[in-house]
Amino acid sequence: MNELPKVELHLHLEGAAPPAFIRGLAREQGVDLSGIFDAQGNYAYRGFVDFLRVYEAACTVLRTPRDFGRLTRAVLEQSAENGVIHTEAFVSPDFCGGRDLGAWREYLAAIREAAEEAERELGIGLRVIVTCIRHFGPDAARQTARCAAETAGDFVTGFGIGGDEGQGSKADFAWSFDMAREAGLRLTAHAGEWGGPDSVRDALDHLRVERIGHGVRAIEDPALVDRLAEDGIVLEVCPGSNVALGVYPSMRDHPIERLRKAGVKVTVSTDDPPFFHTTMRQEYDALHRTFDWDEGVFRDIAATSARAAFCDAATRDTLL
């Protein structure tokens, strides 16, 4: 089952940067980033807020469109090696050249060029979900939504929100999501990772998203689980991320199987693979080992992911 074609819906482009790639850029720029790596050269952080700090520090060396082009190629090569045929990457203009919003189109063009080359050479498709950062606040999010709306099309197909779920409220971002929706973008929001069921409800009611990033803590409220199942809301579940960051102590404790059994549309993604020492193959292996998922389950998951992909119908049909 590990050789099945995979569709990944939740991957942060910057968060997928291999540590060696970031170290290489730091060296080129004469920047000392040694404090964010451990003795083995992996990203070193303690808990979620510290993870965000290390993540943002790594992003400071992503300075030019060329850096993003090279990053896109490196990330897609790894995904293709894991059997991924379509991936949707969160890209935050806030992290492009230290928030160089005026040059957003240039960053995007470099990402697109690398993606088109990877599609020709490696057979993997990429779509971009422009993502605002919750702890940067609603004003920054509005500007990010403007970037997204101006470049909405067949490559930038979605808008989302990540960052510290503990700060602010979802309703503060409704304006940005309305703008993105009006531009024809499809919507997803991180919720129910650090926040409980109310956070997921807020994402549905205020941001009116069709997918939820994580969403796993919905399991704490049976009425919400029923609502997700009835409304066909798709959860972008990232089990390895949740265990690595301590949302759940182990894979055995992870609610993905209970959500699936309750009829919720679950999918499987890696989030930020090098931070969490994971890959799509490892996620599939762990789910097989822990919950005894067989090939039929993985085929269902891939089909659910393909149907929920933020791409046009013709592309979607090639994934099914």
Instruction: Give yes or no for residue 269 binding ligand HPA (CB under 6 A).
Output: no
> Which segments of 15-162 are extended strands (E)?
84-91, 125-133, 156-162
Instruction: Give yes or no for residue 239 binding ligand HPA (CB under 6 A).
Output: no
Q: Which of 8, 14, 88, 193 is catalytic?
A: 193
**φ/ψ (deg, to 5) at 93:** -55, -25
CA 78 – CA 113 distance, rounded (Å): 17
Binder among 162, 195, 197, 239 for ligand HPA (CB under 6 A): 162
Angle at Cα 188 formed by Cα 63 and Cα 76, nearest 5°? 45
CA 274 – CA 37 distance, rounded (Å): 12
Q: Which does 15 bind (CB under 5 to 8 A by kind): Zn ion, ligand HPA, none?
A: ligand HPA
Binding mask 31-60 for ligand HPA (x = CB under 6 A): ------------------------x-----
- Give whichever of 276 and 284 is closer to Zn ion, judged by the CB atom: 276
Instruction: Give yes or no for residue 93 binding ligand HPA (CB under 6 A).
Output: no
Q: Which does 163 bind (CB under 5 to 8 A by kind): ligand HPA, Zn ion, none?
A: ligand HPA
Place of tokens 């790894």: 78
Q: Which residues in the 258-277 window bind Zn ion by CB under 5 A?
A: 271
Which residue, 166, 162, 161, is CA-closest to 145? 161
CA distances from 318 to 120, 265, 314 (A): 15, 20, 7
Q: Which does 279 bind (CB under 5 to 8 A by kind): Zn ion, ligand HPA, none?
A: none
| 193 in catalytic set | yes
Least distance to ligand HPA, CB of residue 164, Å = 7
Dig out the tokens for 295 from the structure: 């090939």
Q: Which residues in the 199-218 window bind ligand HPA by CB under 6 A?
A: none
Instruction: Give yes or no for residue 8 binding ligand HPA (CB under 6 A).
Output: no
Q: How far is CA 272 from the centre of its chain?
A: 7
- Give whichever of 276 and 291 is closer to ligand HPA, judged by the CB atom: 276
First to last CA, the chain: 16
Least distance to ligand HPA, CB of residue 133, Å = 8
Least distance to ligand HPA, CB of residue 271, Å = 5
- What would the DSSP string read from start to end of 173-196? GHHHHHHHHHTT-EEEEEESSSS-
Instruction: Give yes or no for residue 241 binding ligand HPA (CB under 6 A).
Output: yes
> Which segments of the chain are extended strands (E)?
6-12, 84-91, 125-133, 156-162, 186-191, 211-214, 234-237, 265-268
Instruction: Give yes or no for residue 195 binding ligand HPA (CB under 6 A).
Output: no
CA distances from 106 to 42, 96, 260, 309 (A): 30, 10, 41, 25
Least distance to ligand HPA, CB of residue 6, Å = 19
Least distance to ligand HPA, CB of residue 190, Å = 5
Active site residues: 193
Q: Which positions lie near Zn ion, rule CB under 5 A?
A: 271
Q: Which positions lie near ligand HPA, rule CB under 6 A?
A: 12, 15, 55, 162-163, 190, 193, 241, 271-272
